[in-house]
Every structure is written in structure tokens, then in C-alpha cells.
Structure 1
């Protein structure tokens, strides 16, 4: 049967040509040689396309196989893709003129370059240059609507007197004497078209070459669809990450105020204590002023680390070996003046030996600051007690902050780390939501219970260093 799309008045000649080609191909050794060569070509293209993640690279790979001398040997090839209601020129490979062809082929021969060997290592820059070289031709080959072309089902060779206007347009733009047209169909019409010819060598296109080109064109379609899907998935992932980053930015901005409350409370409490009863001993004055200076310094650190903290949450947190007991003691001593001011007993229990854990010292301190600030706020005005205790539990180490202030409200007690409702004593629940995120960033977790009334316990758990 003749290919659909061939000029009606040439059907008889096409049939005779096919019969002649069939007779010429009837020799068993020749058929085996051509089949083996096509199989090798398809294997090489398939291996290259397995690594392709970009539609343009996939298109370049197949067009290179069509035009390479050790491939199908066409002088040039073009790929048109149906996009946004148009049939657009997507990519072209090959020389633009006879003069350029002789120059390029001579250079490849002199350098002993085999184009087909290059498809396994595509060069994005070279592909971009190729696209720019053929930019004008690709625009001229484009059609305002893919449906202006009939839905041909098979590849064919077209000439200047082809009955279809779109085909005559392509022949005219390329000034081609014999243009191979390979239609690629979708359910609702043309999906794309591959065009190829031998405008320099005028080599004839045999039936076997035409069928091999058609096979490669269908490989091209599958590769472009796959890589286009991968690109859409990457873009969707980028949008999702951008949304998560925006959410993180909002949460960080909200929690920044909470994080600043801790050092501000220390500085303010110590300053008010000094104003109420200035110490006569200069060394005491210097020590308390040092507490204020340290608290102010931590405020500056919190603000300076805002952008760094956002990047850390997006890209992952660097962890190292650290002593959880020493960390707890440092933060407790930092909060001790505030506890004295609020008439809260603050104690710290830690093992005599080091408790080595995997974590981030700065983030760990922020977590303990959050827990201590909440506990001191709960005990304010009750002359209560806050206990910080470090212990080991199998593969985990626990830093627990317990207070005997009022219990959590029932709504908050159901999920104190949600960040969706206020903390007791009008503090922001965003502090505990931030605490959980920071703990998980270090590979840890948080825990809570108020089973043993009146004690309310929050804990940071980090994996022991092994």
C-alpha cells in the first residue's frame, strides 16, 4: 500500500519503486546487514536517550542520528512540534547551505570526528548554537495551526508539486528537491513532524532508509514526551519548594519575636534589678552589666541569623558531636538572673560524664531557650520551680525542662507543637512549633507530658553520638 500523503498521480510510480526496492532487498545477506545496522543505530540512540532529561537534548540526539554519516546520512533534519495551537519549529541539525556543508564536512573529516559518537555526551552549549543557527529557518517552517496539515499516518517523500499546501510550504522554505516528511500523530491531530533531505548530495531516499527514519522519529516522540514530563515535574517541584520556603519565611518571621523575648527578658530583668537596688560592690555591677551585654549580643545574633536560619531550614542543617549536658548548663546559667528576678527556683541536673549527641550547638541552644522561657513564664508569680535535667535513654539523650506552674489549657495540651493557638500566660505557641521544626532539622524530636501533676514536662531528644 502507498503511504498516505503521497501525491495521487505518483501512486503507480511509488508502487513500482517499492516493488523494485523489494526485489533489490531480497538478498538475505543484504537484508541482514541493513537490519543489523539499524539495530545498532537504535541501540546507540536508545542508550543516549536514557540519560537525556531535557526535551531539546532528546530532539538533538535523534536529529543527529538522522544526519550522521554513520547513521542514516541525511544532509539535514528538522523537528516541528505542536505547541499552543501552532506547529512550531523546535530544532534543526545540519548545514544551512552547500558552502557551509562542504566546509563542515571537511573539518569533521580532518578532525576524524564521528558525529554519532557524540550523542552519548551532549553539549548544551553546542545544542544552543545549533538552535540559533537555524532560528530563522525554524520560524519560517512553523505553521499557525497543526490542523492545517492532514493526519498522515506514514512517512513519505514530497516534491514541489505536492497537493498539500503545508508540504509545498516546507519544500519551498528548504528549497528541497525531495523532502522526507515523517508525521507524528496524537489522538486529536498532528503531534509533530520530522523533515529531512539531501539538499547537497541529492542522494536518493530508499525505502529502507525511509522506514528507519520513521522508526527514529517515533523514538523521538517518546523521548520528548518523557523528558517534557520530567521537566514539568521539576518545575512543579520547584514551585512546591518555593511555596514551602515562603511558608518557612512567614513562620520564621512570626517566631522571631518569640525568640527575641528570651534575651530581652534577661536584659530587661537584670537592668530593672540594678535600677531598683544598685549594688555597692563594683564587681557585682560589672558582672550584672555583663549579663545585660551578653543578652543584647544574643539579640543581635538572632537578627543576624534570620536569613542564615531560613537557608539552613531549606537546605538542611549541619550537625556535629556536642555535649548535651554542657549545653543545658550554659543556657540555664544564662537564664538564672531572670529566674531570680521572678522568684523562680531554677536547677540543672546533669550526669558527671559527658553526654555526647549529634546536633547543632546554636540550634540546640535556641531549643533550650524556648523551653526555659516558656517554663519561667508559666511559673512567674507562683514562686515555682523549673528543673532542667539531662539523661540517656538507649540511643537517645533527653534534655527535659519541667515546671510546676499551671497546666496547659486543654486545647493546647492536645497538640502543643501545632503553633495554632496561644500558650499559657499569653506567650505565643509559635515558639513550640519552631522548636519541633528545629529539633527535626537536627534529626531529633520533642516530647511533652503533664501526667505527674503539677509538673509539666517538655523534652528535646537527640540521638547519641556513636
Structure 2
């Protein structure tokens, strides 16, 4: 700035010296001559004045021309600088910068321009650096994304998106999504519409959306749709996250888990086959267009199930509806399997394994077969060609336990996508797991059928035994009640005969009536025993010491023992723990065993009753010195209505066994080496937990 002032002052002095001072001196000199010289004529003065004026104006014109040129030149330079500034260029050509007569203002502008240029150059470098970093970040993102305008035209697509769907970035800019996708998923359309119409204030999240590019590249993706403001307008950002591999594995795991859960449902074998093929054809799974299942039965290969569209329009409809659920791995199967032309043809397929074709060879060799050109491949016969009507397909054997139980045939008839090696490997893994589950399923069904047949046989046997038991019961009851009835009938007739006679013998009538009464009481007792044995018992289980019950029973029979002259020896363990039992029912058991021992022991004999225990059970033994049990009767002695006595129904020991069994115990009998019989009882000792629960119930 100081330099400019100095130059301006110097120029001012220069022009003052060049124009004003010389002209002023000349004017004073001429005027002095005119005024002080009398000899100067008027015409001379006039000529001098005219000459002076001419000189003055000529000189003035020359210098003012120079000044005007200087000013005009500076104005032109100034305009050039301003125009360059408007264009964003803050440096000018060297001729202006090196001009000697450049004005200070112009020099200041040029100085400022240089500073601006340096600043913008620095900022431009920074912007380029940040732009490069931003571009690298966008291009290195795993997710693919595109930017759309209000008209749903593509404004930008990152490198990941272009690589994912095999499209050229420059060619799709300004075009609609139809230029990228083979069909635009309905859910994606609805999500974009929500953003455009302002119906969603938050981002729209879409899960498990099926997308297919114009090059038939198919993926399962999670999509996030949002918007950003650009001035007064806004743009839509669609971020696409490819989850095909992860979702496919999870989906297969869910399919197999679902199949495992449905094992055992005999009516669901068709549904099981269907669910397997869903995993092969679903966009969430391997994504094949069609899949067919053939199973080995005896010596034949039979078609069992098929899943896939019958036409291209149906395929588009299916693809457009895939991934309609936002629930992770929510597997839903149709209530009714679609029975179209494909399924009909598969179900009609039935060939002998001895025949040679690509299907039977895959079973016999247990090897996969990938056909890429069916119309020219010699391994494919005309029957298979016309059956599949497709150029490329894969035949995958289902092998379990080293045996091929069937095959899965899959193809991409409608989108004509080539079958990748990755898809083949995934199908192989899935087929192996599915084969294992199907074999287990079929084995389980076979076992269940066999068990059902066994149950039917068992029921028949049980029913037969029941009828036999009813027959035995009826026979025993008939036998037991026949004698009392015959006796009662005979004495009743005697009473009638006595009454019809001329003389009535009251003594005979009274004697006959007494016999009839006793026989009826006997009959009632027989029927009571039968009823007691057949009706369910109600037990009052409390903690009791068996030794006390034994002593109480012994006291009850003391007089009978003295009468029979039978000695009883009680070897009871004083430390015997308590057991949970019904006091009266257990007393009934011991009373029966005592009574049988008394009946079997001759006069002068002895009966021994002992108790013992271990960690889990207590033991009761009742032994006598009688005749013992016949060897053939040991196994049937506890059967209902079995008896060796002349009188008796034969329900005593059967009832004893029933009571012991209801107490979770066991009873058995054997003959002693020294003679006589021995009956043993085992009863469980209750745990501490049971005792605590019993105490809680009491209080």
C-alpha cells in the first residue's frame, strides 16, 4: 500500500513538472515582454499570443492524450482482471503484472488475486483429497447402494452395486430401476413409494427381499430406504445388503430342524418330501427354479414330489412374492401342496433300477451328475430330455449309511441361470442331511407300524387272557357257589316236603333252615371276597413300623395257635425303619400269611417270622414247618382262584400280592431245604424327601 502512494506522488510531480510549470513560466515571460516593451507592435503581440496559445494547446493536447491513454490502459487492465476473477481465475498474464504504469488499485487487486489463488489451490487440493477418501470409503463398502431422484431415476450407483448386478455405471445413470432388475420386487416399490409420499418419517427397512438383475443374478437382501435433502429437492438412497449365503445356511438349518420336529407323523411323509424341495427351490434357500424328488422302493426308482412353477409367468409371480415375511427364518408351508403339471409328471415316473439312464446311474454309482448341455450330452437319453425340457440340470444322490435312498433333480428352467459350483456343493450338503432325516423318518415309520402291530397283538392277547380270566373266574365262582346252592335247594325242598305232609316236624324244619342260613352266609362271603379282590382299594398311607403290625397280628391269632399247638418265633430287628403303608391292609397281608402257615403246619410245628433291612428296603419273612408247596404250584400260587384247600375261593394270596404291589413292593414264595414253605416280602424305605412331604401334609 505504501509503495502505491509513493508511485502516485511521483507521477503527480512528474506531470506537474512536464505540463504545468513549463507552461506557466512561458506565459509569464511572454506577458512580461508585452507589458514592459513599448516597441512591440499590436500585431506582433497578437501573433505572439496566438503562437503561445497554439503551443500551449498542442503541448496540452499531447500530454492529456498521454494521460488519457494511461487511464484507458489501466481501465482495460482492470476490466480484464475483473473478468478473470469472475471466472474463478485469480492470476492474470505477465504483461499486466510487469506493466510499469499499472495503477496501485490494480496492483492491490492483483495481489489479492494471488492470495485468493493460493487459498483456492490449497482448498482444491484438500477437496480432491477428501473426495478421494470419500470415494474409497463408498467403493469399499460391503453394501451396495443407489441414489434415486423424485422420478425414481438413478442418480448414482456405487461400484459395489455395479459389480453385484453386473451393470455399467454410466449406462444406468438417468434410467429407472427396470434397467437394472429383471423385475422390481413389489415390496421394494412400496418402500420407495412410502418415502416419496412422505408416509414414512423414518427409514423403511425390508427384510429378506428377493432381487434379480437383468443378467439374472439372483440374491436375497436386506434393504434400507431413506432420503436426503439436496437444496429444495430430495433424493432417495437405497442400501442393499446381500445376505444370500448367510440366509441360505440359516434357512437350510431351519428346514432340517423343522423336518426333525415333524418326524414321527406317519401321515406327513408327502409333506416331508415337499419341505425338502422347498429348501432347494426357495429364494431363501438354494434358489433353483425347479426341484424333483425320486425315491428307491424295492428295485425301482419312483417319483415322489416336485416343487416349481409350470410357466414363466408363474415363476415371476413366485419370485415377486418371495421374502414377504419380515420374521427371521419364519418358515411357513402351504396347507395344500400345489398339484400342477410338473408334479403329475414326476408322480408318473417309475423305472426299474436295472435300466440304464442318468437317474438310475446316479443311484447305483452314488455320484452327482451336472449336465450342462442335455441336448448333446450322450449320457442323457431322449426320455430324460423330454421329461425335463431343459438344457442344464443337476442330479444329486441322497446317500445315507453308505446307501443311496433316492435322488434330487434341480434346474433353472425359467431364469436360465447357470448352476454354479457353490450351488452344487450346497445342494450336496443339503441332500446328505435330508437323506439322513428321511431314512430316520422312514425307519421310525416302519418301527411305529411294527409297534402298532405288536400292540394290536398284545391287545388281542390281553383280551384273550381277560376272556380266559373271566372264564376261570366264572368257573371258580360257579364251582364255589354251586355247592351252597345245591345244599340250600335240597334243604328247601325238604322243608316244603315236611310242610306238605300230615305231620309237621318243626325240629327238622328248624335244622334245615339253619343249614340254609349257614350256606347263604358262606355264599355271601365268597361273593364278598370276589368283590374285594376286583374293586380298587383305597389306601391310607402313613409311616408305620412293620414290627408293630406283626406283633398285633400275632396277638390276634394267639388263641388259635395255642389250640393248634403251634409255636411262633419272632425274630424282629429292633432298628427296623418305618415304611409308608396302610396299617389295616398290611395287617390283612400278615393275617393271610399267618393263617396259611397255621393251616399248613401240623400240631407241634412252628412258625418263624423275621424282619430285616438294607439301605433301600425292608424284608419280611414268614416260614412254616409244614408240607411245603408243590413244585408246579410255586409259579401260580398267587394267581386268582388258585387254591389247594378243600374249602376256599383261592383269592387270599392273590389279594396279598395285589396289596403288596400297590405298596410298590414284591412278594414271592419258595420251599425251604429243611421242609416247609417260606413267603418273603420286600417293601421300599421312603426317602428323606418323601418323609418331609408327608410331614407337610400332616401339618
Q: TM-score range by the shorter chain?
A: 0.5 to 0.7
Distance 1:175 1:113, change over 3 A: farther
Distance 1:172 1:201, change over 3 A: same
Provide TM-score, normalisation by structure 2. Answer: 0.41
Which of the residues 232, 242, 248 maps onto 2:446?
Answer: 232
Equivalent residue, structure 1, for 2:330: 117
Q: Secondary structure at the match of 1:176?
A: coil
| Structure 1: stretches of 5+ with no match in the other structure | 1-31, 306-317, 329-344, 346-353
Contact (CA 8 Å) 1:79, 1:91: kept in 2 or not?
Answer: yes
Contact (CA 8 Å) 1:171, 1:179: kept in 2 or not?
Answer: no
Q: Secondary structure at the match of 2:669?
A: strand
Contact (CA 8 Å) 2:292, 2:410: kept in 1 or not?
Answer: yes
Distance 1:434 1:402, change over 3 A: same
Distance 1:214 1:99, change over 3 A: same
- Output the CA distance in 2 between the equivalents of 1:83 and 1:435: 56
Q: CA deviation at 1:451?
A: 2.9
Which of the residues 382, 404, 408 maps onto 2:629?
Answer: 408
1:116-137 alpha-carbon deviations (Å, 9 max, x no partner): 531xxx76x84xx328666523
Contact (CA 8 Å) 1:58, 1:220: kept in 2 or not?
Answer: no
Confirm or deny that 1:448 pairs with 2:669. Answer: yes
Equivalent residue, structure 2, for 1:64: 278
Q: CA deviation at 1:86?
A: 1.0
Confirm or deny that 1:139 pairs with 2:344. Answer: no
Aligned pairs for 1:59-458 within 5 A: 59-104=273-318, 117-118=330-331, 126=335, 129-130=336-337, 136-145=344-353, 147-150=355-358, 151-152=361-362, 153-163=367-377, 168-184=382-398, 191-260=405-474, 263-264=477-478, 267-268=481-482, 270-271=484-485, 274=488, 278-280=512-514, 290-291=524-525, 294=528, 356-357=580-581, 406-413=627-634, 443-451=664-672, 455-458=676-679
Greater CA drift, 451-460 or 60-69:
451-460
Q: CA deviation at 1:40?
A: 4.2
| Structure 2: stretches of 5+ with no match in the other structure | 1-241, 492-510, 550-565, 567-577, 691-699
Q: CA deviation at 1:89?
A: 1.2
- Output the CA distance in 1 between the equivalents of 2:475 and 2:672: 29
Q: Secondary structure at the match of 1:148?
A: coil
Distance 1:236 1:50, change over 3 A: same
Q: Pairwise CA RMSD of aligned residues? A: 6.1
Q: CA deviation at 1:80?
A: 0.7
State which structure, 1 or 2, has the greater radius of gyration over its C-alpha atoms: 2
Distance 1:220 1:402, change over 3 A: same
Q: CA deviation at 1:207?
A: 2.8
Distance 1:456 1:272, change over 3 A: farther
- Output the CA distance in 1 between the equivalents of 2:603 and 2:471: 26
- Output the CA distance in 2 between the equivalents of 1:263 and 1:397: 36
Contact (CA 8 Å) 2:395, 2:410: kept in 1 or not?
Answer: yes
- Output the CA distance in 2 between the equivalents of 1:140 and 1:39: 33
Distance 1:161 1:425, change over 3 A: farther
Q: CA deviation at 1:456?
A: 3.1
- Output the CA distance in 2 between the equivalents of 1:194 and 1:462: 60
Provide TM-score, normalisation by structure 1. Answer: 0.57
Q: CA deviation at 1:74?
A: 1.6
- Output the CA distance in 2 between the equivalents of 1:102 and 1:68: 13
- Output the CA distance in 1 between the equivalents of 2:643 and 2:382: 76
1:265-311 alpha-carbon deviations (Å, 9 max, x no partner): 65445545645564459997986665466468679x69xx9xxxxxx
- Output the CA distance in 2 between the equivalents of 1:461 and 1:260: 32
Aligned residue pair count: 387
Structure number with the bigger relative contact order (C-alpha 8 A, sep ≥ 6) is: 1
